[in-house]
Chain A
Amino acid sequence: MRREHFLLGLLAAVLLALPLALDRYQTSVLVLVFLAAYMGQAWNVMMGFAGLLSLGHALYLGLGAYVSAALFVHFGLSPLLGLFVAVLICVGVAMAIGALSFQFRIEGVYFALLTIAFAEVARIGFDHLKWTGGAGGFFLSVAGSQGQWWNLRGGPLFFYYVSLAMAAAAFALCVALRRSKLGYQWLAVREDAEAARAVGIDVTRARMSAVVVSAAMSALGGVAHVFYYNNVFSAQIFDMSRSIDIMLAPIIGGIGTLFGPILGAFILIPLGEALIHATQALGINAPGAKAVFFGLALMIIIFLAPSGIWPSLRKRLGIGEGKP
């Protein structure tokens, strides 16, 4: 057995048993870690693999959340079925954005701006959509449905395993994609789109498939998000800062790597929580104090490991995940 397989197996065993040793709060922090790792993996498919910078990934997270929640609240549809609708809608929107940009050759930063624009439109739109609560937020009732796993109703422990399974599945999917023909096409397009075209790769199709895979994954993240929190606010879920949060784990962990989003999430989420406690303990009550320290920590990390923590750590541990 190769060293990395052993380490992966060890990690899986520890994570499966870990809730036994954790309290409710610590379990809930790990739910956030897994959800961040999952969303980071989704974002990384577009940016890390295909070289398409999305600065509006909150769009798919929010759409997935709203669609599945609305179907559940208004029609009693289980999110396990609702997620298919959520995925379909997100894929539809992603294809529309993709078609628009690739048709008119909108690339690079202009593509990134377009993704922001669509997230903003969704934010403002859902702010005014009374059917899903408008600006006041949309709530799932908690009473009387606890324990209905088929409706994704449950506490931190339940969501610990849901989100762990999602993060693990996303990792496995990305490993498979990275080794697939499509994965190679993405990397070729990322490296040099013109050269990819010259060797006969259908660049538009490769890009479109990256957008679709990423959006579909993100839609599921939105479903988990809303059923975990039991509420969704358009002003928060579609916000630019949410999109940035999604990107941070893979950027810190290592863009384009398979393990980077996971490592990034394991560093950033606990760091954020620790800073909240630390600022409280130190009696620093100024609003934004946590953000200042968080920003400082990010600067230090990026300074020390400019291409992400995972690539430098990997070298030290002497394990590979293939290139890059």
Chain B
Amino acid sequence: MLSVEGLDLHYGDAQALAGVTLDVPQGAIVAIVGANGAGKTSLIRAISGMLKPSAGRIRFKGEDITGQPSHVVCNLGLGQVAEGRQVFPSLTVRENLLTGAMLPRASARKAQNYERMLELFPRLRERAGQAAGTLSGGEQQMLAIARCLMGEPELVMFDEPSLGLSPALVLQVLDIVKRLNAEGLTCVLVEQNVAASLKLASHAYVLENGAVTLSGSGAALLDDDRVRRAYLGL
């Protein structure tokens, strides 16, 4: 569904991504793991059109989207839940959700989708009229996910969805990813929580210094000695 070929990305002279190639089949959960600064967020931002790659190709549903601006990419059905729960703090929960429904592909069904999100995340119903900045960290993460889903994406890239959450909430967030995937959503999961995300993923890539150094099924990487030593501390 999503394929990335030989992607290079530079910030000025500094190279952030070097020849990244990966493939996300429809219906899969693909995990991308790596240390801080390995280029995970850069990769997501390049795929979503927020950064312009210096070389390589990105295809989504067969269409070349390399260098397309983010609002075009989003409208094709490639959504992202950005790192750090970027909700709009002084807008209400409801208004936050509605901003997610502005994509032409989804705007006609915003009322139904809004109702669906409140069913999926009951906490948000209680908080609908409240400013998003007053929500707890976990609720903000739910809101960020729900806002992305308002745009009816076919593939969502989750960037560190469990960052800064308590262990119980981490499990809850990963459970949501699993549920959405079961309903047919293709997921790319960037996580610090390597063990949990590898368990969830059908396929995974290890990113080091901007390049893919290992890939394989989630289970295989969980058993891989290098992964166990570097990321699982075993």
Contact = CB atoms under 8 A, between A and B. Distances in A.
Report whether chain A binds chain B: yes
Interface of A: 181, 184-185, 187-188, 191-192, 194-203, 323-324
Contacts of A202: 69, 71
A160 to B, nearest CB: 36
A194 B86 contact: yes
Given A187-B88, A188-B99, 6 more contacts: A188-B91, A194-B86, A195-B88, A198-B70, A200-B79, A203-B71
Interface string B36-56: 000000000000101000000
Given A181-B102, A184-B98, A323-B95, A201 B71 contact: yes
Contact of A185 (B79, B89, B99, B147): B99
17 contacts: A184-B95, A184-B99, A187-B95, A188-B88, A192-B86, A192-B89, A194-B86, A195-B88, A198-B48, A198-B74, A199-B147, A200-B73, A200-B75, A200-B79, A200-B102, A200-B151, A201-B71
A323 B91 contact: yes
Contact of B92 (A192, A194, A323): A323
Contacts of B103: 199-200
B15 interface: no
A322 B46 CA distance: 37
A184 B100 CA distance: 10
A101 B216 CA distance: 45
Contact of B50 (A181, A198, A324): A198
A187 B151 CA distance: 18
Contacts of B118: none
A193 to B, nearest CB: 10
B98 A198 contact: no
A80 B80 CA distance: 49
Nearest to B80: A198
B90 A191 contact: yes
A194 B48 CA distance: 12
Contacts of A201: 71, 99, 102
Nearest to B70: A197
B131 interface: yes
B197 to A, nearest CB: 20
A99 B88 CA distance: 26
A199 B148 contact: yes
A251 to B, nearest CB: 17
B33 interface: no
A183 to B, nearest CB: 10
Interface of B: 48, 50, 69-71, 73-75, 79-80, 82, 86-92, 95, 98-100, 102-103, 107, 131, 147-148, 151
B2 to A, nearest CB: 16
A191 B86 CA distance: 10
Contact of B71 (A194, A195, A200, A324): A200
A199 B50 contact: no
Top 5 closest A-B pairs, CB basis?
Answer: A200-B74, A195-B86, A191-B88, A202-B71, A198-B82
A191 B132 CA distance: 11
A324 B90 contact: yes
Contacts of A323: 90-92, 95, 131
Nearest to B78: A200
A165 to B, nearest CB: 31
Contacts of B74: 198-200
Nearest to B130: A323
Contacts of A203: 71
A194 B71 CA distance: 12
A196 B99 contact: yes
B130 to A, nearest CB: 10
Best-surrounded residue of A188, A199, A201, A323 (most CB of chain B within 10 A): A199
A75 B4 CA distance: 62
Contacts of A194: 50, 82, 86
B104 to A, nearest CB: 9
Contacts of B147: 199
Contacts of B71: 197, 200-203
B175 to A, nearest CB: 23
A99 to B, nearest CB: 15
Given A185-B99, A188-B99, A200 B86 contact: no
A197 B48 CA distance: 9
Contacts of A185: 99, 102
A198 B92 CA distance: 18
Contacts of A324: 90-91
A324 B75 CA distance: 28
A324 B95 CA distance: 11
A112 to B, nearest CB: 21
Given A187-B95, A200-B151, A201-B102, A195 B82 contact: yes
